[in-house]
A and B are shown apart, each in its own frame.
Chain A
Amino acid sequence: MGKTLFDKVWDAHVVSNIENGPQILYIDKHLIHEVTSPQAFNELKERGIPIYRPSQTVATADHNTPTLNQDKPVKDELSRKQLQQLSENCKANNITLYELGHKYNGIVHVMAPELGITQPGMTMVCGDSHTSTHGAFGAIAFGIGTSQVAQVFASQCLLLTKPKSLRVSVNGKLKPGVLPKDVVLYIISKLGTNSGTGYFCEYAGNVFEEMSMEGRMTVCNMSIEMGARGGMIAPDEITFEYVKGREFAPKDDDLTKKLEYWKTLPTDKDAKFDKEYFFDAEDIEPMVTYGTNPGMGIKINGNIPVENNLSFKKSLKYMNFEAGESLIDKPINYVFIGSCTNSRIEDFRVAANYVKGKRKADNVTAWLVPGSKQVEAQIIKEGLKDIFDAAGFELRQPGCSACLAMNDDKIPQGEYCVSTSNRNFEGRQGQGSRTILASPLVAAATAVEGRIIDITKHLN
């Protein structure tokens, strides 16, 4: 029987098998950030264990960083301390760190791909559940807890039981205005938030084959929102073209050899998956969420379903929505375009293209937070900043920002935010905030109108 993409990468990284137990899996790249690493560094220090392969770890500051005045000392004392601790830990252990202000600083899942750190066939981990993003390159990439961060520090390995395999195929032609974010929100709305638990997911079909790397990253990023530890897309020419020439990408002979290997990775025709789902691209519309988990999504011109269970009712009560109603024309005061899901250059191009020549509604605060310093520079270089400035949008500095509101970028109590991020949990964007997940296009249109509109009627 043939092997899946996941099998091939996994099997190539098994160091050994524990009888009646997990496997030792080798990790090629370990990404760290300020929030989930300090306790792991402490653990090793207390136990007198050195970092085994510091050159395979790369650090960035992103979760807890301000998006204004990054050249000045961080005001919040606890945040400042956490960032300092990361700097000290990286220095003491010879780990490369792209700290605040560095030209490569950015959200960990934006920074690593754009630097060519992320490559097909790798195993990658990070103390962040959206590490699934890197699966867009045909890598096995998943989020880990801090105890596991310490394990990778100590041994460059993890003890893991191989997950089951799942494939989601989407074929056909996407309608105008349907972006990769809509595709993944649609999949999660159909499958639910725990359908992928215990599985690694491969996305297949012409819809993903035709997607840009940015789009593929958006899709793989949200795999965890259906419970899957990771998502993967087979590497192809689009992947290779994206990786080539980047700072840490293989070069010359090394590249030739790796390309040869990468081309062997796609799933064999006769490979079997433990679970398969199929969707038609034509059925997908621009999406919005109405509840407090990412599976609670509807097409933008649809109606909130009517369900009679406690958790559903609790969710609608929190959002102050009624079962059966439509979200069209709901007034919105906050719009956030950013996060590891949608803060790459393509996302800002989509938004700028819609916004060009228009102005945001007076009631709206519109934050644009690029995923990295490089994305920020590109926004300026391409003239997108001028478009956003003229439209009254606020371009801030890179970081996780209002996706999880650890810094000052918080949505006020009771307010709705149409957000391109990945989670609409209660209070995710600030205590009492109400998140509506959507694509950068829907977010941009909401900012211009000051309310949710049926974007399908506003496209040329």
Chain B
Amino acid sequence: MSKMSTEIGAISFSHQNTTLAERDLLAFSSSEIEQSLPIFRDKLGGEVGILSTCNRTEFYASGACAPTLWEDVKDLVAGIKGVRPTRLPSPKQLYGADAARHLFRVSASLESLALGEDQILAQVKDAHEHILEAEKKSPILDQLFQLAVRAGKDVRTNTTLCQGNVSISSVSVELAKKIFGAFKRYTILLVGAGETGVNAGVHFKSAGAKDFIIVNRGQERGERVANQFDGEYMPLHRLSDACVRADIVVFATGAQHPLLDLESMRNIMRARRNRQILVIDISNPRNVDPRAGEPDGVFLYNIDHLEAIVQENLQERTDQIPLAENILDAYVQEWDAYLRARRVTPTIAALSKHFKSVRQQELDHFRNKVSEEEFALLEEFSKRMIKKLQHNPIIYMRKAASSNELRSEDLDLVIKLHGLLDDD
């Protein structure tokens, strides 16, 4: 009877142990994963899975290769990436239950650069899809990734780890939503057509904003960005007019002096008949005099205010880590139970094969000694009989393995009693 290792190994390159340049070098695109999975599998002789995102590249393997995974794949990775093996950084290496817990933590976004981010769960699902689509089956990694996806969902459902925004742009959008609700009917004014302003605009557009005004010192760039948002360009000297029309104003310029002061804001609010306005100043130095936020109906937030909200949300996420770890404990236990149950699979398969073989021998013995009808009855009788004889030992082995009560001596006894080693 053959013995198959069910342990898993993992190697991880992430923001914790590599530079951005190293992660870029090691990143695998979706098509690269598809092409290289069979190569890795042939080389290692076991199941292989690859998880690659902008912040991590990880290899998971099951089988005899698991303990020496990095040594076994190093040259292959270097070959695929076209670099010398010595140029590759040292990975974090994990084995057994530690490797499983690591993947569950990744899926729950506990290992992410931005704690509680949502994208990683979809990326784990993609890695799982690649494993399922591979020509050769990978039952152990299939089970591992299934559990990882379930663990990720469970943590998101039963903790607030992924709630609250943790980037300046998303906090700005959240604030605007709390004032205006949906953005369809409201006008967004971007003051400054640089990268920061455009990024903020993209966030508002993806949240449903349709009407944009771009105010910029340089006309050419301003008009280009206005076209990008299907909006209108206005020169900087018409900033007050633009503020009268807009509902949400994002300042992101390199101006070294305030572009909006209290007096201008008072005039703007008079012209707006006190309609609410959200002013977001993400410039450094600030473009809006803090006193401009005083009039009723003006909600002014600068980069420090937004950063404070981000930090508060991050702290709330950090407070959820112990709760998330408790949830993952249950999944690690489920994984252990699965592996233990799998350990008896070869014995069960051998036992089943042994009974079938005995049945076949006996049937062959009687084949020409009885009529066809009698032989059909014998076939049916023997089939039912071996099924019943196998039932209790198999159920016992599975249950005992799952609850960690099965000793190796028990398995040896089953093997010896039925002469399963001789069958091989």
Do A and B assemble together? no
Binding site for B on A (CB under 8 A): none
